[in-house]
Structure 1
Amino acid sequence: MSYNLDTLYRQVIMDHYKNPRNKGAIDGDALTIDMNNPTCGDRIQLHLQVEDDIVKDVKFDGEGCSISMSSASMMTQAIKGKKLDDALKMSKLFSEMMMGEDIDAGDLELEDIEALQGVSKFPARIKCATLAWKAMEKGVHKE
């Protein structure tokens, strides 16, 4: 049985939606950012714990469509343990990917995040995919 890339990407997205990574709250001192997408009702609460310019821990809670929740799960996996600058670079790359641009991730590991590439073909869903990333950017700039 052969799978095409779209099928594989859909499976990755649904896996993150059904089995979210880093869901919940952080015990102890953490920055909390609340954001929502009023157009479709997605909402996220992102918890960031930063020490010495490194994302020590990151978790999220919220509710929304499979795109927004799986994107949050993927983002938390991607930025945990990274320098803040690298997390912001990843966010910029992700935004460019959502705008349909070809991206060169260089030495930044995007891992499962590339599964969301197809969202760029659906402008109404781009805000769903970028919600967690915008929350992270907002939190980093408060830091």
Structure 2
Amino acid sequence: MTSYSENDKRKIIMDYYTNPRARIEKNDNSKYHSKYFHSSTCVDEITLYYDDDKKDWKFVAQGCAIFLSSSEIFIERIKEIGFENKDRLIEIYEKLINFPKDIIANEKEFLGKLIIFENVNKHLNRKECALIISKVFKLI
């Protein structure tokens, strides 16, 4: 399992924020299904797009670095582990955000790079930002 320093975590968050992988400006492809979610506490909003096989994921969004980078990394992890594991990923990820001390080693391994958000609960205003992507995936 990879361990990240606080500085490494900041670098990864900013890299995903400034160099999007799945984030696009707009979606003109009608083959995609979509789910929309807007935060009730800030300007973060997302429209998640996915194909019939739930293997191709893209999103249009605006918001803070925590929200956008967590969305990027969550989608990256879904692609790695397969959509059939989304419920387990959601459960463990939400546990990480809300109760990070309760996360055990095999759960940390399962989260992959998402583990960098383990301290987000120290900033209560950022918990919602980090959890938006799991809320959207619950709608699918």
- What range is the shorter-chain TM-score in? 0.7 to 0.9
**Is residue 106 from structure 1 mapped to residue 70 from structure 2 by the alignment?**
no
C-alpha contact (below 8 Å) 1:26/1:59 kept by paired residues? no
- Cα 1:104/1:49, change in 2 over 3 Å: farther
Q: Call closer, same or farther: CA 1:105–1:94 in 2, change over 3 Å.
A: farther
Q: Which residue does 2:39 correspond to in 1?
A: 37
Counterpart check, 1:128 vs 2:129:
yes
**Secondary structure in 1 matching 2:70:** helix
Q: SS of 1:80's equivalent?
A: helix
Higher strand share: 1
Which residue of structure 1 aligns with residue 8 of structure 2? 8
Letter of the aligned partner of 1:112 in structure 2?
Answer: K
Deviation (angstroms), 1:135: 0.6
For 1:87, the equivalent position in structure 2 comes to 86
Match of 1:61 in 2: 60
TM-score normalised by structure 1 residue count: 0.82
Gaps of 5+ in 2: none
Change (3 A) 1:112 1:83: closer
Which amino acid is the alignment partner of residue 58 of structure 1? W
Match of 2:85, SS? helix
Structure 1 residues 39 and 135 mapped into 2: Cα distance closer, same or farther (>3 Å)? same
Task: Note the C-alpha offset of 1:109.
Answer: 3.8
Divergent runs of 4+, >6 A? none
Greater helix fraction, Structure 1 or Structure 2: 2
Give the deviation of 1:81 after TM superposition: 5.4
Say what the alpha-carbon RMSD is for the aligned residues: 2.1
- Identity across the alignment (%): 26
* Deviation string, structure 1 residues 67-108 (Cα, Å, up to 9, x no partner): 000011101101025443311211111100001233236386
Whole-Å Cα distance in 2 between the matches of residues 67 and 39 of structure 1? Answer: 14
104 and 30 in structure 1: CA distance in 2 versus 1, 3 angstrom threshold: farther
* Alpha-carbon distance between aligned partners in 2 of 1:119 and 1:137, rounded to the nearest angstrom: 21
**SS at 1:110's partner residue?**
helix
Output the amino acid matched with 2:104: D
Structure 1 residue ranges without an equivalent (≥5): none
TM-score (norm 2): 0.84
Q: 2:46, 2:59 within 8 Å by CA — same for their partners in 1? A: yes
